[in-house]
Chains A and B, each alone.
Chain A
Amino acid sequence: MVFSSIPFLYYFLPITLLLYFITPKKHKNKVLLLSSLFFYFYGEKKYIILLLSSAIFNYIMGNIISKNKKKSLLIFTILIDFGMLFYFKYTNFFIENINTLLKTNISIMQIILPIGISFFTFQASSYVIDVYKGDIKPAKNVLEFTTYLALFPQLIAGPIVRYEDIQKEMTNRKTEWKNLEKGLTRFIIGLAKKVIIANLIGEFIIALSGIETPTILSTWLQAISYTLQIYFDFSAYSDMAIGLGLVFGFHFKENFNYPLIAKNITDFWRRWHISLSTWFKDYLYIPLGGSRNGTKKTIRNLLIVWLTTGLWHGASWNFIMWGLYFGILLILEKFILKDFLNKHKIISYIYTFIIVIISFVIFSLNETELIPFLKSMFGLNNLNISNFETIFYLKNYFIILLIAFIGSTPYVKKIYLKGKEKWKIISLVEPIFIVALLLITTAFIIDESYNPFLYFRF
């Protein structure tokens, strides 16, 4: 079930809220678990067993490991978790490449990728690693752990919530009006970001990729739009997840911090999909030795981390290229460009802007489309600078692009909060504004055919 749908918004969510708030405190987790399982079952009927198996297996292994801290047990658990992820996500990619490389003819398997598998596998493995390291105590019971793993606000598109972040809240959380207001408001703003901004920019991309005669301007607009669409879609899902978490009394960590104003790529990755980058840092980069064992090993570690980061996003060469692209740039920044970029702020912003835009071109296009597209962007395909079609579509989506640009900076929030301090009327009309936004978003959901779920490959 996706958040931006009528069944979720007006049926699943109110029924879950009603059941949750009328249920006594000690049974609230059961309501959350049952609703989360239904939420998953709605979209992935047969893989509900997989989700439950993963929860039970990791719960049992967590308990065993907490009592018997053998590394072999940890390795066994991680191998099973990632073996499952590999089977569902990478088997066919592996077979395709073996076939190409060795000219064999191994049949592709009929495997459907379970939605959210990368998220819940990463959560489950972080749990057992943390239990092994003694950073957390194991979950009290399988119900509590399954609720954590299957918690519907973050189940299918993140953020990756670590057990240590919500362990206390699993058993002891309060229902407060303040949290309810903040959570519901954050959810509705996230919903509007997804349905109005990300989806319309997605339509702009479709229009640009379908124009009769592409131009240099149309390819740049398409490239910029890839970045904006992915940012607004993904950060919107995080907003909705964090908001819903808050409604139920959970405080999930922030997942995005205005990444499009980053001053370099290192800064960008401190602001983009924070839960994923910190996961890789804590569970892969640091265990590999991080930057403590000299330049060569640091470079090796960074390349391993970014290769796996790329692969995490999907079983395809463009994701591997995307990961390595960032890996190489981060190495360059760390060892060569750092001082220069710190001294030249304007150049560093332009550099980051272009690097990020190109990165999402790599992210969005397959290997065969990529090179011709990049050549078009840089005027190497004999395209005109612009034409009527490009300008027509630019005008058509200009306001939404403008909103997206301004909305990707922290200034809107800053100005709004200042205005709220200065004029009381803003606070007074806020409830009306939020409900109006909910209704407008509903109107877009009702009347729009383009409402993609971008995380089916994750």
Chain B
Amino acid sequence: MSILSVKNVNKQFGGLKALNEVNLEIEAGTVHAIIGPNGAGKSTLLNCFVGRLDPDTGSVDFDGVSLLGMKPHEINQVGVSRVFQTPEIFGDLTLVENVMIPSFASRDGAFRLNGWGQVADENDVRENAMELLEDVGLVEQCDTVSNQLSRGDKRRLELAMCLVQKPKLLLLDEPTAGMARADTNNTIDLLKKIAKRGLTMVIIEHDMHVVFSLAEKISVLAQGTVIAEGLPNEIKGHPKVQEAYLGGAHL
């Protein structure tokens, strides 16, 4: 069953056609990677999933609901979470607070005027947050201000913030960009662990090592069009992909 269905999506910026008749089906419970050379339209496509951009034509349906015209927070409320390329966290807040906020968002909705209740009484939310921090290996630092984390740790925190919401779909924008090798491997292990729980993930990634370690299905985007789609093995040998991606060099 497909959970995210993208049909005939077009997006133009001035004279540049960023997306050209893109069709994409994301199967529930799979890890789907979108790869492609720089400027292929990967980020534009991702932005169409989360409400930052609306396509000019075409449709984006998530779990039977159209995402077009929805605001980012509304899209999150129907079950789509996103990890950014540069970690977007609440830098002035402590780690545990960072994870509690999304937890409140899933529990209480987009807005709740809860000015009289006390955070200190929200034991279940806190325990939930601590569990997630445990999962990503940051539980020791739960009371540090998150600005002080390393870049890799920030990204893991962001992942915990997304996971605490129990999303139906998790979007990851280059989750290992700028990471050292060891950190990258840690992240891959972590994502594998999460994938095993049956969470649907869409990953945009440059690093082929990451892609082939994680992805169950791969779509290749070049110049705004999907030029190939299939299992990792099929993509590896695909001539069109090699041409578009590396100008003929072998992957």
A and B associate: no
B: residues with CB less than 8 A from A are none
